[in-house]
Amino acid sequence: MVRDPFASESTPSAEEICSALDDPDCREIIRKLEEPMTASELTKECDIPQSTLYRKLELLTDATLLEESTEIRQDGHHASKYSIAFDEITLGLDEERALSVQIERPARTADERLAELWSEVRRET
């Protein structure tokens, strides 16, 4: 399943985001993602066992800190690629003195907007 934090209608809770960022493996994944990478590439780059890596990727995508997209391959064995989905995260206190979170997302390119539109069409058909 491809998950797009830009299309997400709700912001994850401050607790979800802090939990993901508190994990040393998750921080290592974020550090290594200078460009989109597959789970196999991240396993090698981060020296994290693949089974553990998939749990960490799930944690990061659920917190909308990573974007998961599909790399279409000619051989039919498509792969998920992961990329950073934020520029800045700000934690603050709301009126009730509870933690609030604001995520600043990078601007979408024309290609990304087209891919998002195509994904939407595929979901509806």
pLDDT at 42 over 90: yes
Return mean pLDDT, the chain. Answer: 86
**What's the CA gap between 101 and 91, in Å, rounded?**
5
In this predicted structure, the answer to whether residue 5 has a pLDDT above a threshold of 60 is no
Kindly tell me the burial class for residue 67, based on how many C-beta atoms sit within 10 Å of its own C-beta (0-12, 13-18, 19 or more). buried
Residues 33/84, Cβ–Cβ less than 8 Å: yes
Do the beta carbons of residue 63 and residue 30 sit within 8 Å? no
Distance of CA 56 to the CA centre of its chain: 11
pLDDT digits (tens, 9 = 90+) for 99-120: 888 889 888 778 777 877 777 7
pTM: 0.75
- 87, 98, 103, 112, 118 from 63: Cα distances, Å: 14, 18, 10, 20, 24
Q: Which residue, among 88, 86, 124, 116, has the nearest Cα to 3 in the 3D structure?
A: 116
